[in-house]
Amino acid sequence: MAEPFVVAPGVIGPEAALSVRATRSSGPGGQNVNKVASRVELRVDLDRAEGLPDEARARLRALAARRLDAQGRLLVTSQRTRDQHRNLEDAREKVRALVRRALVAPKRRKPTRVTAAAKAVRLSRKRRRSERKRARGPVRGEGD
């Protein structure tokens, strides 16, 4: 079983929240590829993560929506290297990166007003473009 790991400052993934499974990788491996289970599947039970605020937990679920399994656990895989231990560390780093992204609260947009000058410039450009396009049309009044 996996030991607990620090995901972010104050956020810990306890041992009970993690499960690791090694499978055969489709990546590099040469003649070893059919014998060695180097691909790592790391599942993290998000409800058991300690120190994760509810808002960040909700953002994490939204960020990782495609990676959640039927039980709501986060599934992260890695088959980057031929070594199972390095792939496990890579999967853990992916989880850390996701949690770090979820911990950052998005900035609220401050509604701003368009200035009168900007509005005037936009309308004058629209009028000029409209005149240019109208001038391209058929000439009326001579032999209709």
Residue 20: strand pairing partners: 42
Identify the pLDDT of residue 67.
Answer: 86
Q: What are phi and psi of 102, to 5 degrees?
A: -70, -30
Beta-carbon count within 10 A of 102 CB = 24
pLDDT, tens digit, 9 for 90 and up, residues 53-112? 888 888 888 888 888 888 888 888 888 888 888 988 898 888 888 888 888 888 999 999
- What distance in Å separates the CA atoms of residue 138 and residue 3, rounded to the nearest whole number? 79
11 — pLDDT class (breaks 50, 70, 90): confident
Q: At what angle do helices 54-63 and 84-103 cross, to 10 degrees?
A: 120
Report yes or no: 21 and 68 within 8 Å, Cβ to Cβ.
no
Question: Residue 35 pLDDT more than 50?
Answer: yes
Identify the pLDDT of residue 12.
Answer: 72
Report yes or no: 61 and 73 within 8 Å, Cβ to Cβ.
no
The model's pTM is: 0.64
Q: What are phi and psi of 97, to 5 degrees?
A: -65, -40
Torsion of CA 18, 26, 81, 38, to 10 degrees: 50
Question: Residue 2 pLDDT more than 60?
Answer: no
Question: Residue 118 pLDDT more than 90?
Answer: yes
133 — pLDDT class (breaks 50, 70, 90): very high
Domains, the chain, ordered by start? 5-103 (3.30.160.20)
